[in-house]
Structure 1
Amino acid sequence: MQIREFTASDLEAVYRLLAANGWSHRIPDEAYLAKLIAASQHAWVAVLDGEIAGFARALTDGLSNGYLSMVVVAAPFRGRGIGRALVEHIVGAEDNVTWVLRAGREGAPAFFAKLGFVHSTLAMERPRRAAY
């Protein structure tokens, strides 16, 4: 497995990965995905057997706070450490940063707990009001 930075040539494959794994309601098309990635400090892909098997993106000031926005692994590749490798690649580089995320998908709380994330009672959110 190779973890590498997202490149523009990955856009179509990453969009297909997201659409096939429950993100189509949030990512309407490749152009929107490109805008999200351009606004992120971290965007990484996991490549396995020449195929993009996972994707993660995050936003951070690199000093104090970070938000892990997406961690997606294609269903056939789950359970092989791909999600862990993507998360560790992003958050492991910045030990001084407090990372937050939304863990509402099935299995997400248990997965992220294994990576050192803990339930927080300090966070608040203002939900989005528009679809995109």
Structure 2
Amino acid sequence: MNFTLDNGEKVMFRQYEANDFEAVQQLNAREGWNTLVERGEETKEAFENSNVTYIVEKENNIVGYLRGMTDKQITLYISELIIGEELRGSGIGKTLLQYVHNIYPKTRMELLGLSTSKAFYDKLEFRSFYGFRKVVEEWRD
């Protein structure tokens, strides 16, 4: 799907394909998402097992992506959203979130964001909520 952003730039949203993974990992590395980079095989498998995976292309270059999961009726959970730093503020992230949410219009969109992305989600009028996280090694008897 092709989009013209408010600033006149043209981008394309399309489904993730396995050969996109190297470019996705480059975006992760530039963003400092080291866990995703260091755990490359697991990250690749996460993409393969996710039912919401979209790539953002501009002039045949991958400049962003969104990965998530949905039950298609209640919840649309966004795991990762990255737009290349040089294109932030151009409307790509907002347009991609709207595009994906329109595919699953019955769902509520939920996501976790870093403190550095708070202003972005506040601007889009997302409501804050509290969440919790634990990895398996943190369980104690």
Q: C-alpha distance in 2, partners of 1:104/1:63? A: 26
Residue of structure 2 equivalent to 1:40: 50
Tell me the TM-score normalised to structure 1 length: 0.85
Tell me the TM-score normalised to structure 2 length: 0.80
CA offset at residue 32 of structure 1?
A: 2.1
Distance change >3 Å, CA 71–CA 15, structure 1 → 2: same
Q: C-alpha distance in 2, partners of 1:74/1:126? A: 26
Once the two structures are superposed, residues 29-67 of structure 1 have per-residue CA deviations (whole angstroms, 9 ceiling, x without a partner) of 432221111121111111012211101111110111121
Across the aligned residues of Structure 1 and Structure 2, the Cα RMSD in angstroms comes to 1.8
Determine if contact 1:45/1:86 at 8 Å carries over to the other structure.
no
Instruction: Report how many aligned residue pairs link the two structures.
Output: 127
Q: Select the structure of larger CA radius of gyration.
A: 2
Residue of structure 2 equivalent to 1:112: 121
Residue of structure 2 equivalent to 1:128: 135
CA offset at residue 110 of structure 1?
A: 2.3
Q: C-alpha distance in 1, partners of 2:125/2:79? A: 16
CA offset at residue 100 of structure 1?
A: 1.3
SS where residue 33 of structure 1 aligns?
helix
CA offset at residue 27 of structure 1?
A: 3.6
1:20 aligns to 2:30 (yes or no): yes
Percent identity for Structure 1 against Structure 2: 24
Segments of structure 2 that go 5 or more residues without pairing to the other structure are 1-10
Within 5 Å, which residues of 2 pair with 1:1-132?
1-106=11-116, 108-120=117-129, 123-130=130-137
More helix by share: 2
Distance change >3 Å, CA 32–CA 41, structure 1 → 2: same
RCO higher in 1 or 2 (8 Å CA, sep ≥ 6)?
A: 1
Structure 1 residue runs of 4+, over 4 Å off?
none
Segments of structure 1 that go 5 or more residues without pairing to the other structure are none
Determine if contact 1:6/1:44 at 8 Å carries over to the other structure.
yes
